[in-house]
Amino acid sequence: MKNRTITGFNFSNHLFLLCLLLLFLNGETLLAQENIGYQMPPKGIAALIDAPRTPSARISPDGKWILLLERPAYPPIEELAQEELRLAGLRINPKNNGASRSYYYINLKLMSIKDKKEIQIKELPSNARIENVIWSPDSKKIAFTIVKTDGIELWIVIVKNYRAKKLTEPTINDVYYDNPYVWLSDSKTLIYKSVKEDRGAPPKVTIVPDGPVIQENTGKKAPVRTYQDLLKNAYDEALFEYYMLSQLTRITIEGKSKKLGSPGIVKRLSPSPDGKYLLVETIKHPFSYLVPSYRFPTLIEIWDMEGNVVEEIANLPSAENIPKGFGAVAEGPRACTWRSDVPATLYWIEAQDEGDPAKEATVRDKLFSLTAPFTEEPSEVLSLNLRYERIIWGNDDLAIVYEWWWKNRRNVTSLFNPDSQNPKKQILFDRSWEDRYNDPGDFITTYNKYGKKVLLIDDNNKSLYLIGEGASPEGNRPFVDNFDLKTKNPNRLWRSQAPYYEKPLRIIDVENGIVLTRRESQKIPPNYFLRNLKNGKLIKISDFPHPYPQLKNVKKQILKYKREDGIKLTANLYLPPNYKKEKPLPVLMWAYPQEYKSADLAGQVKDSPYRFIRIGWWSPVLWVTQGYAILDNPSMPIIGEGDEEPNDTYIEQLTSSAKAAIDKLEEMGIADRNRIAIGGHSYGAFMTGNLLAHSNLFKAGIARSGAYNRTLTPFGFQAEERTLWEAPETYIKMSPFMYADKINEPILLIHGEADNNSGTYPMQSERFYGALKGHGKTVRLIMLPHESHGYRARESIMHMLWETDRWLNKYIKNKNNN
């Protein structure tokens, strides 16, 4: 082909030179993709990610032991790259019939609370992957599962000799959300879900379909939010049934076992407190293509311990037609479980308003119960004016019930007599759950003879106890209260004091006022203590070292400021070690908006200035090691009082809050307005896109795993109850995708390729990138292979941090040098 020439100008050659020049000037603009492999962030950041992780802890029911569970480092990408099935909202490892993305531990140790002695559990398999750890009711045994390549085993630890032993071969079915086994109250017997024997090979995919996939609706409104990993066809259904099918088996700690009933798709199992009956929920056909497995048709039955069906409680259809709105529930029995304070009484809730929060109703829910031998008609126990939340059982005379309502953020806590012929509620607390300053805390529980949690009541039946976070204008100060059952008033026994943040975990000895607490400060990591509430004596139990001493001199403080409409705001400010106000710092602001119905309550302080600085892959505080000031969790309240909808002024409130934070930093002499980045994860990423689209407050953005086009989540998102068709202007205005042409600042988009979070499809970032690129914007898209909504693999995390650090350095720290 001949070169085209215009009046002596060689077009092809000069076009090539022009493109080459542009490539040198801005290579990233012209490259469709890069293949650079996984990269590492600066050593200071990498060292924090690789720092040894403080063990998790589980307190025994009798309060005498703490089980320490050692956590591994972040796994390699090879682990996430294993075969995975995505069926009905589940992520399944087909090789071991377990969850493909579960978290595990690598070692177990026991610590005696009395003598502070730490003891290694013996005879654990090497390279163990430990999951589903549960104390026995008598605190003398610990059960757990060991995940292997080809299956999952059930193990126990005998506490008196600190030895572990295997109970089963690798046959445990741990696909579903619920725990794959339960203890009986005798502490000698367990019931577990086993993979069905002789199930043969998995179903094979057929190239030629049997016919089309057909779904039909006959006039019923069935709005559902944006779910992922749903069933799509008959082959998916066959796979789901193959991996979910379980055989319930009873086994003693000596290893004697017996099969119970016939195999089924067991969703949940729960033994009665006396260990004589089993509540079994199984999933039935037809499976749904619209909702995840926890909303599939469900049969609820009571079995005896031989596997015989004693009573059918409910046969529920697929929950596809739940009304829209928060507080909407399915009709029929729900929240079906055992009373924890009596041998064998089942209770459940049924909606009285067709499950529709939009309907007017004096009574929203009713509580029903049925007692062994389950031959009588169910008893109506209690009427609830709001939506049921939970019950804490105490004894024949005392139980606590919690109700809630979304529209006004109301939370009601009441006392009632469960064995009365006509129980009446006595309201103890009636408040907005947004009001953290007046949160009374949670009633403390203890373990009864069945190993079930019940209310902690003093010996004279006169008092209950409360533990709370203790939010206040000076920050969170956890507390312990005595609650007088006669006066219905709480009395303060103890409250955390500066410069520590000390949280009560369990009352070990009511009579002597001994409480197990976890205590920390800005520079001292959390450790366990015994506190005497009567004399203030404090005994340290554990001695976990500082996991990242390089952050010991980082300065943390809670900032308080106001936005232009007078709303009080707060934020956590972190400054580099040895920082002196010689010149403004580059700033990374990391946030997550929240909706409120009250302007006054939106401004309450939500943290403590004395908490230990915790670091994870998600934390923006990592960049304090690189010389940045970090403004973490600055308040971004979106308020809609009365009948106003918060999101109708989302953009205006968001930008006003962001401006107020920047003004505060500049007033303090910390920030240079020309070197501030905004970032966030999930809804925080959505916020980031909107702030860049609708303001010029920031010079760069970092958006991880977000949703940017609200037309792709048409039946609601976050706290938005209205549908796209009810509030089209709000959906459009809140979608940064629709304003891609207005974004003038560089934005880094990061997303996991296997994101399963509702609404945050990977294509949200891909399409946002396409829109920005189409308008010639500065944007970079990173898709992390095999990663979900939260990131797991070390390679992915390190690369994500490298990309973020590189972006911040180029467009924030070294902006004036570009």
Question: Would you name the residues annotated as active-site residues?
Answer: 682, 755, 789
User: What residues pair up with 496 in beta bridges, in sequence order?
Assistant: none
Per residue in 532-553, is it b (16+ CB within 10 Å) or e — as a string? ebeeeeeeebbeeeeebeebee
DSSP-assigned states of every residue in 196-226: PTT--SPPPP-SS-SS-------S-------
Task: Give the DSSP H/E element, type plus range, for residue 240.
Answer: helix 234-244
Can you tell me which residue has the tokens 């990061």? 750
- The total number of residues written for the chain in this structure: 818
> What gap in Å lies between CA 569 and CA 562, rounded to an integer?
5
Angle between helices 650-667 and 683-694 (to 10 degrees): 80
| DSSP code, position 775 | T
Nearest Cα to Cα of residue 441 among 387, 385, 400, 487: 400
Asked whether the beta carbons of 288 and 231 are under 8 A apart, the reply is: yes
**Strands in 352-500 per DSSP E:** 365-371, 379-384, 387-395, 398-405, 410-416, 426-432, 442-443, 445-447, 453-455, 463-468, 479-484, 489-495
Please give the full DSSP string across 458-527, using - where no structure is assigned: -TTS-EEEEEE----TT----EEEEEETTTTEEEEEEE--TT-EEEEEEEEETTTTEEEEEEE-SSS--E
> What amino acid occupies position 650?
Y
DSSP, collapsed to helix, strand or coil, labels residue 75 as coil
Q: What is the DSSP letter of 583?
A: S
Contact indicator for 99, 91 with CB cutoff of 8 Å? yes
Core vs surface per residue 214-248: b (16+ CB within 10 A) or e: eeeeeeeeebbebbbbbbeeeebbebbbbbbbbbb
